[in-house]
Structure 1
Amino acid sequence: MATPNEAVQAALKIDGAKATAMVDIETGMTLATAGSGIDLEVAGAGNTEVLRAKLRVMDSTGIQGPIEDIMIILKDQFHIIHPLTAATGQGLFLYLALEKDKANLAMARRQLENIEKAIEI
């Protein structure tokens, strides 16, 4: 089983990964970080607000179901917000920033799912 630090280290090995963090949805604080080029404390807090906003919209509109991923596509990067399921630590998410020209988005999402399965909180 993987700890939060082991999980972000594993995520950093995904092709194209630039930076990654495990973040608490309630507080916006990072539990573990890896990588560089991004202030992960700021990114964790900011992406917490993105996730909370989407959850509020879902609640307001009656949309059901868990969020698998929120993807933000920039000119040269992919950013993935991957909420963790209740089995691995509800109230947490993995944030992953990828270099667009070095990453395979479908593979990155699949690898995040595999990392999530190994997490023990």
Structure 2
Amino acid sequence: MMNIDTALKEAMSITGAVGAALVDYESGMSLGTLGGGDWLDLEVAAAGNTEVVRSKLRVMSALGLTDSIEDILITLHRQYHLIRLLHPAKGTSTLFLYLVLDRERANLALARHQLKRIETDLVV
């Protein structure tokens, strides 16, 4: 079992990680952030990615898809932006883990695997 701070520290220990946040996509607010910097405002990114998640959920609803989103990947020339929706063992969640990776240093498959492990252990 891990809390938000521990989960963010674990996310930042993923090779290539430059910023991480836990975000509520209903409110658009982050429950915690770690990393980032002048060129990466995690609060702005959290709010913006809330719109990405909401938009995808609207499209899925319009299409009548009953599946759930595992993660959303945005690939930039120098970065990966990974959005992993949280699916707790019981109940529903409006939270997602957001991870920004340096593309030159990151292993995307490994990062996805590690975020899944963090999701499993996270208790909010």
Q: TM-score range by the shorter chain?
A: over 0.9
Q: Secondary structure at the match of 1:19?
A: strand
Partner of 1:5: 5
Choose the corresponding residue for 1:92, options 92, 95, 107: 95
TM-score normalised over the length of structure 1: 0.96
Q: TM-score, normalised by structure 2?
A: 0.94
- Identify unmatched segments of 5+ residues in structure 1: none
Map of 1:29 onto structure 2 = 29
| Long gaps (5+) in structure 2 | none
Question: Which residue does 2:46 correspond to in 1?
Answer: 44
| Aligned mates of 2:120, 2:28 — CA distance in 1 | 22
Q: Which structure carries more helix by proportion?
A: 1
Deviates more, 1:88-97 or 1:10-19: 88-97
**Percent identity (aligned):** 50
Question: Which aligned segments of 4 or more residues in structure 1 are displaced greater than 2 angstroms?
Answer: 86-89
Residue 63 of structure 1 deviates from its aligned partner by 1.8
Counterparts of 2:5 and 2:12, CA distance in 1 = 11
C-alpha RMSD over aligned residues: 1.2
